Chain A
Amino acid sequence: MTDSSFPQPVLRIAPDPETPPQASPQETHVHLRVVDHLFRHDAGQMVSTLTRAFGLPNLSLAEDVVQEAFIAALKNWPFQGVPENPAAWVLRVARNKALDVLRRQGNWKDKSPAVQSSFRTLEGMGSSEEPRFAQELRDDRLRLMFACCHPCIPQNSRTALILKTVGGFSTSEIGRAFLTRGTTIAQRLVRAKRHIRSEGLRLEIPSSEQLPELLPNVLEVLYLMFNEGYSSHQGEALVRRELCSEAIRLCELLAEHPATQTPETEALAALFLLQGARLPARSDGDGDLILLPMQDRRLWNAEMIGQGLEYLGRSARGQKISTYHLQAEIAACHAMATDYENTDWASILRAYDDLQRLTPSPVIALNRAVALAEVKGPKAALEILEKIQHQPTMADYYPLHASLGALYKRLGKRHLAQDHFRRALELTISQPVRRFLLDQLHR
């Protein structure tokens, strides 16, 4: 079920679907199929599998040779054309470069069964459809993800490390997504790799005993990755959206793997898909945020909503309700509603009640109050917001003032409503949000 919306990490050459097959008899008519991020995903796969071959201490070497091999492709293919099996080409170059380096260092025995086996896996990746290697390729990425999120790696390095190695992002792309200088990201990566070496980390998929300790770290990193892409309204829109897709891709990998498909993983996958489905409607042509009540719901991705609901159904088999379950449930209520008014606010309110018990925060209290207003009316909601509005983190939070304005307006308190809409206007630069607020102010 996951294959359709996200490309599999195998470089493929295929006739352009736009041109009829009989019109493409020659090499020059073969297109690089326009699959998003194919090279990036392949790079992540190659780094993962070469790291298995050469060992985790050689992670940087694996990254370097894969990058060099892609550069070699960039220099060659414009002149020679794209080879019939591009992945195999890049792999061969990367592997030979790595072996050169290791042989020069002197202590390398490349005949070891482990190395031979990972090379065979890589060849499998190159030779188009080779299902028997698919599992191994997937396991390689999973192992590296766990290594990147190991407790000994500093928290603020984990996301960058996973994006760089398994994700195939460049340092400057990560910097652009996080509004951080590329050099800062590079330093974090160096530090993280130092930890990998000094702690003697190994590449492994955790046993069922280790899983409860290690899996939450990985899920948290993916959650942060997704949120960075989803919530921040600064930075480069395109790269931020790619953070969301990458978080979804990696989460699906976990949710589909027998060792890691816990209810919590599935709930997180559900949350990502249900939220991600709304991304196309969430900003206008200028990249400005469009709030939920004003979104064109026809732009929501129905396929992703379907997948999200399926994961949410699967996630319900567990004993424990995680915060991911509750957030996914809320997202599902929104995703299934025909419009804002006809949303299942009662269910949303119940989920926020639970969420507030599990992880209390003023932002959750605000969101809960919005749902409460729809269920019990504006007065009940106002009582809550009047309490939290003086908390330091909330005073400058425009959604709080926008909500206060809306509630006062519903109660006919025009002047109070206008004060808060004006305050909200001072706090946001998003044009669609400002238009909405101005409209509320003057109507």
Chain B
Amino acid sequence: MSQFILLLHENPSDFSDVSPDEIQAIIGRYSAWREKIAAEGHFVDGHKLADEGGRSLTRTEAQLRVVDGPYSEAKEVLGGLFVIEARDYDHAVEISSGCPHLEYGGRIELREIDQMHDDD
């Protein structure tokens, strides 16, 4: 088994006039997905990233440059991430494809965590 990271990008303006009823429905969908992949042994971890945009660090010559995020023109931000376990990319895509994030217009970036160990 390998570990994969799901980076969930979202558009904050999608949250404007969503009602408590709709929020309940959405959270219900996420909970169901989480429980399903946990029951199948694929769920490892989930993290919500803080809302403020973070910092971008670069060093040019001796100068440290720190820029407050978000850094791109794009409207979407990285909202949070999941770590899952899967056999390979195909399997990871299959697991991620059930994530409700996709139904609400979000984008998921899927990356494998490189776990090259000494014994590999």
Give residues in A with beta carbon < 8 Å to B: 26, 28-29, 31-32, 34, 37-40, 42-43, 70-71, 73-82, 168-173, 182
Contact = CB atoms under 8 A, between A and B. Distances in A.
Interface in B37-53: 38-39, 43, 46-48, 51
Contacts of A78: 26-27, 30-31, 34, 46, 48, 80, 100-101
Contacts of A43: 20
A171 B43 contact: no
B80 to A, nearest CB: 4
A80 B82 CA distance: 10
Contact of A170 (B17, B27, B39, B47): B17
B35 interface: yes
B26 A168 contact: no
Contacts of B18: 71, 74, 170
Contacts of B20: 39-40, 42-43, 70, 168, 170
B24 A80 contact: no
B79 interface: yes
A74 B27 contact: yes
Nearest to A168: B20
B5 to A, nearest CB: 12
Contacts of A42: 20
B63 interface: no
Contacts of B35: 28-29, 31
Instruction: Give the one of B18, B22, B27, B48 with max A CB within 10 A.
Output: B27
Contacts of A28: 34-35, 38-39, 43
B73 interface: no
A40 B82 contact: no
Contact of A74 (B23, B31, B39, B46): B23
Instruction: Give the one of A71, A74, A168, A171 with max B CB within 10 A.
Output: A74
A307 B43 CA distance: 46
Contact of A39 (B24, B80, B100): B24
Given A43-B20, A168-B21, A173-B19, A80 B27 contact: no
A288 B80 CA distance: 43
B48 A171 contact: no
9 contacts: A71-B23, A76-B48, A78-B46, A79-B48, A80-B47, A170-B18, A170-B22, A173-B21, A182-B17
Contacts of B28: 32, 34
A182 B17 CA distance: 10
Pick the 5 closest A-B CB pairs, nearest first. Answer: A170-B19, A78-B30, A39-B20, A39-B24, A79-B46
Interface of B: 15, 17-24, 26-28, 30-31, 34-35, 38-39, 43, 46-48, 51, 79-82, 100-101
Given A39-B20, A170-B18, A79 B81 contact: yes
B80 A32 contact: no
Given A29-B39, A78-B30, A82-B31, 11 more contacts: A28-B39, A29-B35, A73-B23, A77-B27, A78-B26, A78-B34, A78-B100, A79-B48, A79-B80, A170-B21, A172-B19
A81 B48 contact: no
A380 to B, nearest CB: 49
Contacts of A76: 48
B48 A80 contact: yes
A70 B23 CA distance: 7
Contact of B19 (A34, A38, A40): A40
A26 B34 CA distance: 13
A125 B4 CA distance: 40
Instruction: Give the one of B17, B23, B26 with max A CB within 10 A.
Output: B23
A204 B101 CA distance: 44
Instruction: Give the one of B17, B24, B27, B51 with max A CB within 10 A.
Output: B24
Contacts of A172: 17, 19
A32 B31 CA distance: 8
A169 B18 CA distance: 10
A82 B47 CA distance: 13
Given A31-B31, A32-B28, A75 B79 contact: yes
A169 B27 CA distance: 17
Contacts of A80: 46-48
B75 to A, nearest CB: 16
A19 to B, nearest CB: 10
Contacts of B100: 78
Contacts of B39: 28-29
A42 B23 CA distance: 12
A71 B39 CA distance: 27
B76 to A, nearest CB: 14
A80 B51 CA distance: 14
A74 B15 contact: yes
A173 B28 CA distance: 19
B21 A39 contact: yes
A37 B28 CA distance: 12
Contact of A75 (B21, B34, B51, B82): B51
A242 to B, nearest CB: 8
Contacts of A77: 27, 30-31
Contacts of A182: 17
